Structure 1
């Protein structure tokens, strides 16, 4: 745990301090630098942060936190809000690294509050970066992305490019990792390339090594989706080789990362290159083995052993391969956090080896372990997906609240601007009033002179007005008459248009009602047909089951009893036999035994008593045991089954599986059959798979067969659906599901 802690903190220090050959040497160098600085030094608080971090790495935890507390108290007294926020961010990161989550949250909250009081974009960006780092450790990736993007915005505003570039490079790396987990390959590629470009600009060899490793890993994920793409394969190899070259040319302090790259490269040669590259795979696996400590990196050790096992398998040395696979599993058990992908891969290879060797019992045991691990991974992924959805929903609520507050703020700002404009308008109006009073005094003197002139003009105007009024009255009368005529025409046109629209509306409504009535009639007929079909199907299936039950009872009670009585009489006759009749009577007795066993088997197939008494799971397992032989293995698996399915439906499921298994044995010549029933929240899912010779799913002869029609009818009765996947010589998978209610 301590070594893991050191790795986390060292990765964080990677963005703040120079390279050193060891943690102890780095501590000595930074301690000297800290003692040589004063509080007036421009980089004093950055040195304090580095000193506190390296103390924590060297297990001097109390000294580290004491130093931070002393320095941020001093910063608070000086009202240095930015420096206080910076040191509080460092403290929150260190608390998180040692598992003190609550203290970490309190420190980060204080850092955020004080970061808002400073105008230093570098410190604002660092606080946001710390928030993203903490959010990732709390599995809140959505919040982490939000913090990282805010940090990038602040660093883009920072004038000190050298300092901000280092931290932006780390943020690019974190964003690339998150988008990789979300399968957002375009965004992953964008930030991975940014990480590499930033590292090359800084000429930081550690950052370049990590960037090439990340680029190689990115292309490897894309290669997994397109395994035949040789261009992607070669890009993966090129970037991993560049990372290894950087590691060899420089003194690196991350052997586990070197191990990770060499393991990935060896695995690449095994999975995606021809067998001629197996020696390259062995070479890089040995290189990884030299730098890997089994106590610190059991996942890496198990990966190395898996590669050696794969090489042995390619060399047809199955005994050595099996030994290495088992050893890899044992090492994997020592891991605090097992890599389930490695575990599943190893179990899959062991199943294949044991199956090819004919050790079906061991193969079955590995298959069960494989299913257990797969179920755990499946449940865990569902949990993570659920948490992600909840976090996304919470983020949207917060965004809506923020938008609401922003809208209120904008409205208040608009109100303030409006008040300012109104004040300016009032001042303008007041000045205008003064000017108007002066103008009015001057105009008053002129108006008196003008009044006399106007009185004379007014007399003349009155005479002219009288004449014009008469002409105007005549014109208005003509205009009024024309308007009345136009209004009359307009009213007639509008009335006709309204009548037409009403008629069209009524016609459309009548047509719609007729169509609705016709559709309702068709729907009622279809429902009646469906109901009749289901009733007929129910009667047919019930009749079949009753006939099966009667035949089973008649065979067991009638013919079975007769054969048993005949067997007893023959046994009595054998006791009284003559020596010359011994062979003949023994043959007859064997024939009767065979007939009795055959009769019991037919009777049980007609009506499974175990299903009625103990339920579907017991009946199917008994059926599987009865049908399997030296050339056939049948595996039955029930997942999350609560045994609440009603007996009638259990019988239908039993009949469907019985028909599918009989078809696989009769037509597919299968050697392995897997029957799996999974009970989900609202439905049941049943899968029957075989490794037989397969068939064409679209074959009309198959779809018209009596067996397929019986299966289809029973699934329809269960209101279920089904899918068939089959390929020649690759086997067949039949999957159907139906609702619980």
Structure 2
């Protein structure tokens, strides 16, 4: 009894001693720190939080608040052990203060810290260390469910707990448990709180669990529900939610052999992915511009300070020299003025140089982002062409062949020839030929069956004519590579050959392939009219800019040598890590 009384008095004294702390100032500083965290300025935010923690006694709610924010900063830096340490300190204070809502938040964040460490640091999810982390996360999540499931407050924390548990058990392939927890989360979002984005995310997770369980009808219904619910299409978060739903629907329709729908949703998913990338790039550029403007403003302020200091210094010199002759005053003032002007000029030049360097960095970043977007678009296009070609070859062509066989059987059983049967067979044969041709145009059948060298040889034979002859030169046999790599190189060489046919007016052209030291060398030459390489427009360049971006994205080297009336030579060197 005495111990409890002393403990209560100690708490009251602690609060009394800190009653003079300005809570308005603290809230303002806390807001500033959270803004710094959201802007990814973790180091500055951490300096503030560590300083503010020391301002409050052990059992003050503001101390617990700052401890929790410090944990958030370490989580963003993937320093999970430090984050968990600060979360536990915050929880310890809140448990003594009996603040139920912040206790729930503490349990949730500690559980999430263990879960993130479990997912990020241990790819082998069945390892002993990974399972220990999983058990720790589960312990803190179950504390929330056990102690606070039936309270009227904290529904948001409870729903997030169920969502996290569903995600964790989905990773462990315990799908029944995962489905139970995600259903509980959705029930809270739909009946107790209004958080549309969180509800949509939970529904997407439920749909994905249905896919893992091969319950495609339920998965389709869930993802269509998400698409019908999402109203805001301006935020990146809403776009990502929609993109996940459309991508999963494309997969569902492919698995259920609804190929037309699968293709439609695949296109929508790729379009949304492109829009998301554009928005993210714009956000990054805006951040860089803001940093640039901040540094520029700081530099201008420094210039003003330097000028003010120089002005004060000059005035002091003039006052000190009032006893000298007029000639000395004039000479001294002139020298001082010129010196100040020279320093200001040098400082101005330095700032101009700094600004030019920052602009150069910004242009390089923009170019890299444009290159990434271009390559993402081209990758998506190649994937679509490959999937369409595969669908035409495996499904549509097979269906036409089957229809033709059925007609042949009917024809044999019919005593007298039927004109409509003959006509139907001719139409099916013609359609089969067109499907086959279209499939080969999308992806070379020779490439898929026999590899890059045979496909390039076939390309040279196909495009050669009386006016222009293509020849393949290959010193050694080129082995097979990973299929996506072969498709990319084949498309690049085909683009170069198309440029020769359209623009070079050549009579002879050659393609040389050589593999040395895990590097594929490809050289395309022609004896055509050539062109001035210094006048290539970097934004168009007869498709050359796309080819160059493609090669550079593969960490290769791309070089053009061309002179007017002296032909063109294109040299590419692409590293090959895993030849088959």
TM class by smaller structure: 0.3 to 0.5
After TM superposition, the score normalised by the length of structure 2 is 0.47
Q: Which has the higher relative contact order, 1 or 2, with Cα contacts under 8 A spaced 6 or more apart? A: 2
- Which one has a bigger Cα radius of gyration? 1
After TM superposition, the score normalised by the length of structure 1 is 0.38
